[in-house]
């Protein structure tokens, strides 16, 4: 497989991934929704931070089924792996997805997880592991990822040098809605890898004529035509190469290479005028492009072959001038990178808001000529390094802002401490007094409630006597006791009166019992309400008191631990940024040097050819003069 299809495949995989932070039909967990909100905006750090915390909290619950995340656990674990993958944390992403695979989950969910794991391994170039992950897929497969799985399988086979297997899979994908164009192209490449030249040519021809308006598919169609044209060019079948090279659209990403090859194909069959046409177009294009630079030499070469030496000399002169200017720019760029301007420009946040931010880098003062770095920027390792550098810069910004917030936390805690510390002892003393009084009342209330409950089962009218009645009853009982003693002078008439009075009292208590009990119960219920208010206020006070303490006690250790962690993380990030940045600079300089050497070589050729063209032009002029 070619590099370009691989990168296109990667783009396609990422595009699929970007749309797939899956969710259940109805969102039940706000915090999961919040993580999705950040993920949909591409802020995977924030998404991960929220979802990771939520999933960990959920895992620590005694009754997880009562938690709202319970309904989304499969999705949440999936999304966690997805976000980690998008945040380029492959180690953790792999672990998260493996956890889903090993859990007791639905067949479709497990198959989806296996596919995602395979995709991670594929992106990391671990083809054996990717194959093993795909082998775990069995039974029901979600409709939405069926073609994704097959396309991935075909790409893995290609990467493993198993083109025949890849051909079998890709044939099945030819009518796929999502992969039609890519599958058609990759099938051609698989045939090529298998050594089936004829089948490859036929397939690439088909892939080069797929009707589409999709930008990515248009690009792959151009790529098919370019590759097929190149195959014919390489095998010396120049006239066959030309129609395919001409099919490549003039404004697509492969147009420069196609124009260049078309020129060479025409030149090879001595069709010199035809060679001049594509090269003339190409020579006017972006001068930093390799194909353009080559065309700037090829065009005068063709004019020379046509014996138009004067025009050849003019174009050689133009090329020479252009190459010298470009060498100058490259020297400046190399110096600029050495001075750290490249890295400075990379981490400027405002420029990255544009999707073509890398190209826009050149618009900044003192930044290197980034057009020369485009190929390098597209390479996987450089991209990984660049993304890591940018991620590190983001982490650094976050850590620095957190570091500043610790001082505010300290101030906040100190202010609360100074406010509450003098107040709380007095409040506590007062509270203790109130607390003992309240406890007494609570006990009394409980006793009354018990008494009412007892009265419901065993009526005791005397318990409901008024204070006056109780005093009268007590006095009567005293008199009765006296009357019963031997020394008593009280006569029978008194005893009879006492009996009558007691009877009267008992009569009152018995006959008014129900009324009094109802009144007692009503009063007690009123008391219940008052006690509930008191107890609520009591609880509220206790909470407020606890909150007062919690607002400033117990923060010292976590703040100082976090402060230390942040400080040490900043050191690590700085060190990693320095290493990563240095590596990027070295690679970028290496690339620019190679391009400079290439241009210097072209410059030498142009200089020699320019002199030669002048000579020939002069000779031709002389011959014309002689004739005249």
Residues 485-544 that bind another protein (CB under 8 A): 540, 543-544
Q: Least Å distance between CB 80 and another protein?
A: 11
Q: Which of 266, 166, 167, 182 is nearest to 220 (CA)?
A: 182
Which region, judged by CB under 8 A, interacts with another protein, from 44-52, 319-327, 478-486, 515-523? 44-52
Sign of CA dihedral 45, 48, 50, 53: negative
375 counts as binding another protein under rule CB under 8 A? yes
Q: Which of 118, 107, 37 is nearest to 79 (CA)?
A: 37
Cα-based torsion angle of the residue sequence 4, 6, 11, 15 in order, rounded to the nearest 10 degrees? 140
Of 53 and 209, the one with the shorter C-beta distance to another protein is 53
3-state secondary structure of 164: helix
- Residue from 132, 311, 398, 451 that binds another protein (CB under 8 A)? 398
159 counts as binding another protein under rule CB under 8 A? yes
- Residue 466 phi/psi, 5-degree rounding, is -75, 170
Token pair of 490 as six digits:
């009280």
Q: Least Å distance between CB 556 and another protein?
A: 11
Token pair of 332 as six digits:
């400046």
Which region, judged by CB under 8 A, interacts with another protein, from 340-348, 428-436, 450-458, 557-565? 557-565
Residues numbered 276 to 305 that lie near another protein (CB under 8 A) are: 290, 294, 297-298, 301
C-alpha–C-alpha distance, residues 249 and 218, integer Å = 9
Q: Give 174: exposed, middle or buried? Use CB within 10 Å, 0-12, 13-18, 19+.
A: middle
Each residue 336-355 as x (binds another protein by CB under 8 A) or -, in order, gives --------------------
Of 402 and 538, the one with the shorter C-beta distance to another protein is 402
Q: Which segments within 44-156 are labelled E, that is strand?
A: none
Of 464 and 610, the one with the shorter C-beta distance to another protein is 610
- Residue from 260, 281, 313, 464 that binds another protein (CB under 8 A)? 260
- Tokens 């011959």 locate to 623
578 counts as binding another protein under rule CB under 8 A? no
Of 256 and 367, the one with the shorter C-beta distance to another protein is 256
Of 80 and 113, the one with the shorter C-beta distance to another protein is 80
Q: Least Å distance between CB 4 and another protein?
A: 9
Which region, judged by CB under 8 A, interacts with another protein, from 202-210, 280-288, 378-386, 613-621? 378-386
99 counts as binding another protein under rule CB under 8 A? no
Residues numbered 110 to 129 that lie near another protein (CB under 8 A) are: 125
C-alpha–C-alpha distance, residues 436 and 570, integer Å = 54
70 counts as binding another protein under rule CB under 8 A? no
Of 550 and 623, the one with the shorter C-beta distance to another protein is 550
Query: Which ranges of 371-379 would DSSP assign to H, the alpha helix?
Result: 374-378
Of 590 and 615, the one with the shorter C-beta distance to another protein is 590
The neighbour count for residue 493, using CB atoms within 10 Å, is: 8
Contacts 24+ apart (CB under 8 A), 329-334: 329/369, 330/369, 330/372, 330/592, 330/595, 330/596, 330/599, 331/596, 332/368, 332/369, 333/368, 333/369, 333/372, 333/592, 334/368, 334/589, 334/592, 334/593, 334/596
412 counts as binding another protein under rule CB under 8 A? yes
- Residue from 96, 120, 566, 617 that binds another protein (CB under 8 A)? 566
Token pair of 275 as six digits:
């060679």
Of 384 and 496, the one with the shorter C-beta distance to another protein is 384
- Asked if residues 510 and 461 have their Cβ atoms less than 8 Å apart, the reply is yes
67 counts as binding another protein under rule CB under 8 A? no
Which region, judged by CB under 8 A, interacts with another protein, from 129-137, 276-284, 384-392, 489-497? 384-392
Angle at 469 between CA 463 and CA 474, to 5 degrees: 85
Residues numbered 79 to 98 that lie near another protein (CB under 8 A) are: 87-92
Per-residue b or e along 296-308, where b marks 16 or more CB atoms closer than 10 Å to that residue's CB: bbbbbbbbbeeeb
- Residues contacting residue 42 through CB under 8 Å, at least 6 positions apart: 86
399 counts as binding another protein under rule CB under 8 A? yes
Number of residues that bind another protein (CB under 8 A): 90
- Residues contacting residue 593 through CB under 8 Å, at least 6 positions apart: 334
2 counts as binding another protein under rule CB under 8 A? yes
Write the DSSP symbol of residue 370.
G
Q: Which of 329, 327, 328, 325 is nearest to 368 (CA)?
A: 329
Q: Least Å distance between CB 520 and another protein?
A: 33
612 counts as binding another protein under rule CB under 8 A? no
- Asked if residues 325 and 369 have their Cβ atoms less than 8 Å apart, the reply is no
- Asked if residues 389 and 343 have their Cβ atoms less than 8 Å apart, the reply is yes
Q: Least Å distance between CB 30 and another protein?
A: 5
562 counts as binding another protein under rule CB under 8 A? yes
- Residue from 504, 550, 615, 623 that binds another protein (CB under 8 A)? 550
382 counts as binding another protein under rule CB under 8 A? yes
- Asked if residues 496 and 515 have their Cβ atoms less than 8 Å apart, the reply is no
Token pair of 74 as six digits:
């499969």
Question: How many residues does this entry show for the chain?
Answer: 628
Of 307 and 601, the one with the shorter C-beta distance to another protein is 601
- Residue from 17, 277, 413, 427 that binds another protein (CB under 8 A)? 413
Q: For 501, how many CA atoms within 13 A lie in the half-sphere containing its CB? A: 17
- Residue from 97, 337, 573, 599 that binds another protein (CB under 8 A)? 573
The neighbour count for residue 342, using CB atoms within 10 Å, is: 23
182 counts as binding another protein under rule CB under 8 A? no
C-alpha–C-alpha distance, residues 31 and 18, integer Å = 20
42 counts as binding another protein under rule CB under 8 A? yes
587 counts as binding another protein under rule CB under 8 A? yes
Q: Which of 241, 315, 318, 222 is nearest to 276 (CA)?
A: 315
49 counts as binding another protein under rule CB under 8 A? yes
Residues numbered 415 to 434 that lie near another protein (CB under 8 A) are: none
- Asked if residues 199 and 191 have their Cβ atoms less than 8 Å apart, the reply is yes
Q: Least Å distance between CB 282 and another protein?
A: 12
481 counts as binding another protein under rule CB under 8 A? no
Residues numbered 223 to 252 that lie near another protein (CB under 8 A) are: 227, 230-231, 233-234
């Amino acid at each position: 497989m070619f590099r370009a299809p691989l990168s296109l495949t990667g783009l396609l995989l990422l595009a699929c991934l970007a749309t797939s932070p899956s969710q259940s039909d109805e969102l039940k967990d706000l915090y999961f929704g919040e993580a999705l909100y950040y993920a949909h905006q591409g802020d995977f750090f924030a998404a991960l931070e929220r979802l990771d915390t939520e999933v960990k909290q959920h895992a620590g619950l005694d009754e997880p089924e009562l938690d709202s995340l319970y309904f989304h656990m499969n999705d949440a674990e999936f999304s966690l792996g997805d976000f980690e993958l998008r945040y380029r944390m492959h180690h953790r992403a792999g672990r998260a997805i493996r956890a889903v695979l090993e859990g007791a989950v639905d067949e479709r969910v497990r198959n989806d997880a296996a596919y995602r794991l395979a995709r991670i391994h594929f992106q990391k170039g671990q083809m054996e592991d990717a194959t093993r992950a795909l082998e775990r897929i069995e039974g029901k497969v979600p409709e939405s990822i069926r073609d994704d799985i097959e396309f991935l399988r075909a790409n893995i086979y290609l990467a493993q040098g198993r083109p025949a297997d890849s051909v079998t899979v890709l044939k099945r994908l030819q009518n796929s809605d999502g992969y039609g164009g890519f599958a058609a192209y990759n099938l051609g490449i698989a045939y090529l890898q298998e050594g089936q030249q004829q089948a490859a040519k036929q397939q690439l021809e088909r892939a080069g004529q797929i009707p589409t308006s999709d930008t990515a598919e248009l690009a792959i169609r151009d790529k098919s035509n370019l590759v097929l044209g190149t195959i014919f060019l390489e095998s010396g079948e120049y006239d066959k190469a030309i129609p395919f090279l001409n099919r490549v659209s003039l404004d697509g990403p492969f147009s420069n290479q196609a124009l260049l090859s078309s020129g060479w194909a025409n030149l090879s069959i001595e069709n010199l005028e035809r060679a001049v046409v594509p090269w003339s177009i190409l020579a006017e294009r972006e001068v930093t492009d390799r194909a353009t630079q080559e065309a700037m030499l090829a065009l005068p070469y063709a004019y020379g072959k046509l014996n138009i030496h004067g025009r050849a000399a003019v174009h050689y002169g133009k090329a020479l001038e252009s190459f010298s200017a470009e060498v100058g720019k490259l020297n400046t760029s190399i110096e600029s990178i050495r001075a750290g301007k490249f890295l400075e420009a990379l981490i400027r946040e405002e420029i990255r808001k544009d999707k073509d931010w890398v190209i826009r880098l050149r618009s900044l003062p003192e930044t290197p000529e980034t057009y020369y770095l485009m190929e390098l920027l597209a390479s996987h390792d450089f991209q990984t390094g660049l993304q890591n550098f940018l991620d590190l810069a983001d982490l650094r910004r976050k850590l620095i802002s957190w570091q500043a917030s610790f001082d505010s936390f300290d101030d906040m805690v100190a202010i609360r401490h100074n406010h509450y510390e003098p107040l709380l002892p007095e409040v506590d003393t007062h509270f203790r007094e109130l607390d003992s009084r309240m406890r007494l009342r609570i006990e009394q209330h409980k006793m009354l409630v018990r008494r009412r409950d007892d009265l419901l089962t065993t009526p005791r009218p005397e318990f409901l006597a008024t204070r006056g009645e109780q005093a009268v009853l007590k006095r009567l009982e005293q008199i009765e006791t006296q009357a019963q003693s031997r020394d008593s002078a009280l006569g029978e008439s008194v005893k009879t009166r006492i009996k009558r009075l007691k009877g009267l009292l008992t009569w009152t208590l018995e006959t008014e019992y129900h009324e009094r009990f109802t009144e007692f119960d009503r009063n007690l219920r009123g008391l219940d309400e008052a006690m509930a208010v008191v107890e609520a206020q009591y609880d509220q006070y206790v909470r407020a008191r606890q909150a007062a303490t919690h607002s400033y006690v117990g923060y010292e250790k976590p703040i100082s631990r976090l402060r230390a962690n942040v400080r040490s993380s900043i050191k690590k990030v700085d060190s990693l940024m320095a290493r990563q940045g240095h590596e990027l600079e070295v690679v970028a300089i290496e690339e620019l040097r190679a391009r400079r050497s290439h241009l210097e070589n072209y410059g030498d050729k142009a200089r020699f050819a320019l002199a030669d063209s002048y000579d020939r032009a002069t000779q031709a002029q002389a011959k014309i003069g002689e004739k005249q």
